Structure 1
Amino acid sequence: QWLLSSPGSMKFRAKITNKGFIELFIQVSGTIAKLAKVCVLRVCQDKLCFGPTGPRATREARLWCKVMRGASFYQFNMEGVSEELNEIYLELISEHLYRAVRSAGNAASLKIQLTNKRRPCLTVAVELASRTGHTHVMVHDLPVRVLPRRWWKEYPEPSIQVSDVSVYLPALKTLKSIVERMANMGDNVLVEANLNGKMNLSIETDVVSIKSYFKNLGNPLKSAHSVPQDRDPESMVQVRVENRKLLQFFEGQQINPTTALCNILSNTLLHLVLVHEDVSLQYFIPAL
């Protein structure tokens, strides 16, 4: 099923030597593997983007992860299809990438390169240092599909509508345990938030009703500027989503974010955002 054509003139080579960023890249790869079985890696001059495959009209939750080039990469060289279209689109199995990089926890360096070994591959090289001072390199060749230019429009960066409310998330471990309990009792959960930093999660069935309240979470400044002046800050904006999809996010994400946001588009979309240094992870869960 993998395209056997050559990457041609396209080139990509990146190297990470910063131990903290190697660990973060492992966490990012693990998160992507949990949230998207197959993903499209979009290589740009200033960033790497991991996005979903499949038609955009799907009702499934969708992932978008961006790793900025920043200062974290020791080396980052790429040449795309052409000067005007200086990008590369690769389809790969997410779990393969995670298996390749997870051994890099104590590595001296992590290299990622687009290669052609009888078929297009993303070659991951993990350089491990031994106690004697010698190094050995573990090399993983991951088959990839090089997506032709005519398919690129099928994999756009998500266009983000202005949300009706945006609130900082409470501790992710706390949320995960609450959503786990709720998932055992019903199929969907109501998520509510307002402009006074409050957020509620609730589930209601014929047998049981549960509601968790959070307050003093805070709202990003920009969210307060984008709402009508006459709107009551206490009024709750809500969206009902599948418990399974929400739980998948909290179980799958492995990043320890410095910023975690919940954006709600009333009765339409739950948009979760995690940011840590040069990495941003977005998860879009459509309303029921």
Structure 2
Amino acid sequence: MKFRAMMQDPEYMREFLYIIQTLSKLAKTCILKISMDKVYFVANEESGSTAPLVWVEIDPKLYFSEYTMQGVDDDQNSHIVLNVPTLHLGTALSLLRNNPCYCKLKLTNLQFPCLTVDVDATSKSSDKSRRATHHVPVDVVPRCDWSNYAVPTKPICKLVLNVPSNRLIRGLIDKIKNLSPTIIFYATTNGEMNLVAETDMATITTRYQNLELRAMNASEDDKKKEQIEASCSVDCKKTALFFSALQIPSTELSCGIVDDRLIHLEVNIREGIAIHSILPAVCV
């Protein structure tokens, strides 16, 4: 079992750091699933936690100038599955904030399995380079347990809308969480999305209009209607935690709704790299 990868683009290295920092704010550990064509990070704290289910999908060709892996088997579907402490990994990568020259990741075996992070960066105050090596302890997940750590699948949502800057939504939901335990996402095919919070004293509605309809998967009966609607009520604290954890500059954010079942949030960093989150419905 071998894994070795190297990044050399400063912008992409910082982007990678922001992804890990986002995960570290959501969960103490995450599952790192490595294959030849994809790298996944899955953060999902134990049941009952306020943290939402979040996973990141990465096309390794977009980040790594060198990428080598050999999994448990020699076939094309070979994988390596690791349980990684997100905070330790974020600390190991923190030097990437400066002017990084390269970052190497390697699966090593000291007295215990480690993900070795080797970073070379130039100091802001001088032209001297600084090199740091960290050995992040990891747990190798045995193949017999892989079924317990399957990568979530992207749900088929009734309506998917591209929504405005996550900074605006984050500030709004951060205020609502102190007023209501739940928040209702309501969307229509006319490009309208409403965020509704109900309290004993009032109902608070924030309306976004003229949004881009990204996808629609309506039933035959719904297609006969003049306007198709979808809505779902989710936990406000989980929603607020997801938005507050995002460390990546706002790019493209979409919101998908499966009626009364779930909300699917997707942050498209760029082609081939996205952060996903599923917020399950709650009873109101």
| 1:86 and 2:78 matched | yes
Give the Cα separation in 2 of the matches to 1:215 and 1:188.
Answer: 22
| 1:32 and 2:23 matched | yes
1:206 match: secondary structure: coil
Residue 165 to residue 231, structure 1, CA distance change in 2 (3 Å):
farther
Give the Cα separation in 1 of the matches to 2:48 and 2:261.
Answer: 14
| 1:103 and 2:95 matched | yes
Q: What amino acid does structure 1 have at the position aligned with 2:181?
A: D
Residue 193 to residue 79, structure 1, CA distance change in 2 (3 Å):
same
1:34-73 aligned within 5 A? 34-52=25-43, 61-73=52-64
1:178 match: secondary structure: helix
Whose strand proportion is higher, 1 or 2? 2
Give the Cα separation in 2 of the matches to 1:60 and 1:251.
Answer: 11
- Shift in Å, 1:226: 5.3
| 1:280 and 2:241 matched | no
Q: What amino acid does structure 2 have at the position aligned with 1:273?
A: E
Q: Residue 30 of structure 2 contacts residue 42 of structure 2 at CA under 8 Å; is this kept in 1?
A: yes
Cα RMSD (Å):
2.1
Q: Residue 257 of structure 1 contacts residue 275 of structure 1 at CA under 8 Å; is this kept in 2?
A: no
Q: Residue 59 of structure 1 contacts residue 286 of structure 1 at CA under 8 Å; is this kept in 2?
A: no
CA offsets per residue over residues 231-266 of structure 1, 9 Å max, x none? 435343111011100000110011235321100010
Q: Name the structure 2 match of 1:74.
A: 65
Give the Cα separation in 1 of the matches to 2:59 and 2:51.
Answer: 26
- Shift in Å, 1:40: 0.5
Q: Name the structure 2 match of 1:270.
A: 263
Give the Cα separation in 2 of the matches to 1:267 and 1:225.
Answer: 15
Residue 237 to residue 79, structure 1, CA distance change in 2 (3 Å):
same
Residue 233 to residue 67, structure 1, CA distance change in 2 (3 Å):
farther
Q: Residue 27 of structure 1 contacts residue 254 of structure 1 at CA under 8 Å; is this kept in 2?
A: yes
Q: Residue 166 of structure 2 contacts residue 250 of structure 2 at CA under 8 Å; is this kept in 1?
A: no
- Shift in Å, 1:37: 1.9
- Shift in Å, 1:134: 4.6
Q: Which moved more, 1:231-240 or 1:28-37?
A: 231-240
1:174-185 aligned within 5 A? 174-185=168-179
Q: Which moved more, 1:263-272 or 1:31-40?
A: 31-40
1:262 match: secondary structure: strand
Given candidates 208, 230, 233, the residue that maps to 1:237 is 230
Q: Name the structure 1 match of 2:243.
A: 250
Q: Residue 158 of structure 2 contacts residue 217 of structure 2 at CA under 8 Å; is this kept in 1?
A: no
Q: Residue 169 of structure 1 contacts residue 261 of structure 1 at CA under 8 Å; is this kept in 2?
A: yes
2:151 match: secondary structure: coil
Q: Residue 43 of structure 2 contacts residue 54 of structure 2 at CA under 8 Å; is this kept in 1?
A: yes
- Shift in Å, 1:57: 10
Residue 242 to residue 71, structure 1, CA distance change in 2 (3 Å):
closer
Q: Name the structure 1 match of 2:152.
A: 158
Residue 32 to residue 58, structure 1, CA distance change in 2 (3 Å):
closer
2:276 match: secondary structure: strand
CA offsets per residue over residues 97-124 of structure 1, 9 Å max, x none? 1111122122111111111111000111
2:17 match: secondary structure: helix
Structure 2: gaps (5+ residues): none
Given candidates 140, 143, 152, the residue that maps to 2:137 is 143
Structure 1: gaps (5+ residues): 1-9
CA offsets per residue over residues 188-230 of structure 1, 9 Å max, x none? 111111111110001111123210000111111xx23655373
Q: What amino acid does structure 2 have at the position aligned with 1:247?
A: A
Q: Which moved more, 1:127-136 or 1:273-282?
A: 127-136
Identity of aligned residues (%): 27
Q: Residue 31 of structure 2 contacts residue 83 of structure 2 at CA under 8 Å; is this kept in 1?
A: yes
Give the Cα separation in 2 of the matches to 1:261 and 1:185.
Answer: 25
Residue 93 to residue 134, structure 1, CA distance change in 2 (3 Å):
same
Residue 112 to residue 203, structure 1, CA distance change in 2 (3 Å):
same
CA offsets per residue over residues 118-164 of structure 1, 9 Å max, x none? 10001111102357755331111110000100011111121333211
- Size of the aligned set, in residue pairs, is 277
Q: What amino acid does structure 2 have at the position aligned with 1:142?
A: V
